[in-house]
Structure 1
Amino acid sequence: MTGEDSVTAVPDVREQLRGLAGRGVRWPVGRWPEAVLRPAAVLVLFGVLDHLPAEHASRAVPGDLDVLLVGRSPALAHHPGQVAFPGGRVDDDDPSPEAAAVREAVEETGLDPTGVEVLGSLATVPVPVSRHLVTPVLAWWHEPSAVGVVDRGESAHVFRTPVADLVDPAQRRTVVVEVAGGRRRTPAFLAGDHVVWGFTAMVLDTVLDALGWAEPWDRTREIPVPR
């Protein structure tokens, strides 16, 4: 499978994602008392590109594979302005984290949930800064629908970005965050006019590496925290 391929290998991509959900990943984060964190879920939704072609030719990723992302509103209390997966808190009436991730994605982007196939979930990830325990939900967009900003108070942008371009070593960076007691480093991706960093970049970095899609990149190329 090469970067020039269309997603004629859709079953292969889908099964790779399903297999990853089955075997799981090890997150590069420390432990946190789960009792003090609120459950949340995000939808990591892969599909076939819309009108935006990939520029990077990857040996492992089809050229027309993409992932759905949102730019959070700068007015939000937590992670303002950051690029994220659609998602949010798991409500009491949500039957599962998977259902919550799809519900939140519908509310944030307007996607048609009937076109989404949930493939499985990964282990929860603690995000202490917002006091959430997040379940990443892997899904396949078998019938893509129109998406866009639904609520400006929640999101400033909704966009799909080529996965092949995300693995391009030229588009990889490291963000250095000054925290109490030292500096914290997080992977980052340049995605057009957007910088993906923090929790979302950590999930993408770990997932792409676990799938064998990642390419070696220079982790010494540091950029400041995006504003």
Structure 2
Amino acid sequence: MHHPLFDALETQLSTRPPQALRMPGLVLREAAVLVPLLLRDGEPQVLFTKRPTTLRHHAGQYSFPGGSRDAVDPTPLQTALRETREELGIDVTGVRVLGALDEVPTLGGSGFRIQPFVGVLPQGLEYKPNPMEVEFIVEVPLAHLMEPTAHRTEPHRSRGVEYEVDFYTYGSHVIWGATGRILRHLLSLTRALSQP
């Protein structure tokens, strides 16, 4: 649970309020995700889920546990934790929430504004993924994601606007889209904390 990087991230996120999206004229549905960190053999890992190809939105993509905010969720954080519990089949009461990252939009047709929260999962959890929402779970070493060779960008166009899409590769796994943008923000903070 405790690692110097997690402590430093918590301090950094507590001193820097997350940026809200400013997209005038665009009505986006609220969503929230948990960016799950954990320690495996003392090394920080980032957890991703692969979505089944049968889903309506972002089928077959890698994502963080999360989803749209329901009326029962008093806060976006509650959304992220509820969805994590439902998708991974774990008890989320022991999750150490380090803070929030900047909101990101989904730029396809799904139209969500996503509030990401960074949280550390307790040691020794046994995942029981919901097969309706999760095809499988992959843990990726944070050190691998920090390697320049793991990351590339490609230009993309949506609604007449050109922007860069981030792709992160781990073996046969390719992480991109809104998840890639959230990951890029997390990694930029982590790099800044790792500088001597």
TM-score of the aligned structures, taking structure 2 as reference length: 0.84
Q: Are residues 33 and 182 of structure 1, via their aligned partners in 2, closer, same or farther at CA, if it must alter by over 3 Å?
A: closer
Aligned-pair distance for 1:24? Answer: 3.5
Cα distance in 2, alignment partners of residues 138 and 83 from structure 1:
17
Aligned length: 193
Question: Which residue of the partner structure matches residue 134 of structure 1?
Answer: 114
Amino acid at match of 2:119: A
Amino acid at match of 1:141: L
- Aligned partner of residue 87 in structure 2, secondary structure: helix
Conserved? CA contact 2:105–2:178, under 8 Å: no
Q: How does 1:182-193 map to 2 (within 5 A)?
A: 184-193=163-172
**Structure 2 gap ranges (5+):** none
**Structure 1 gap ranges (5+):** 1-6, 51-62, 216-227
Conserved? CA contact 1:148–1:158, under 8 Å: no
Conserved? CA contact 1:37–1:128, under 8 Å: no
Aligned-pair distance for 1:148? Answer: 4.3
Residue number among 14, 17, 21 corresponding to 2:9 in the alignment:
17
Question: Which residue of the partner structure matches residue 174 of structure 2?
Answer: 195
Conserved? CA contact 2:106–2:177, under 8 Å: no
Cα distance in 2, alignment partners of residues 180 and 40 from structure 1:
21
Cα distance in 2, alignment partners of residues 147 and 212 from structure 1:
29
Conserved? CA contact 1:98–1:118, under 8 Å: no
Cα distance in 1, alignment partners of residues 152 and 128 from structure 2:
27
The superposition leaves residues 14-59 of structure 1 with CA deviations (integer Å, 9 ceiling, x where unpaired) of: 22221232234787x9732487211111001111026xxxxxxxxx
Aligned-pair distance for 1:128? Answer: 4.4
Conserved? CA contact 1:175–1:197, under 8 Å: no
Aligned-pair distance for 1:72? Answer: 1.1
Q: How does 1:172-187 map to 2 (within 5 A)?
A: 172-179=151-158, 181=160, 184-187=163-166
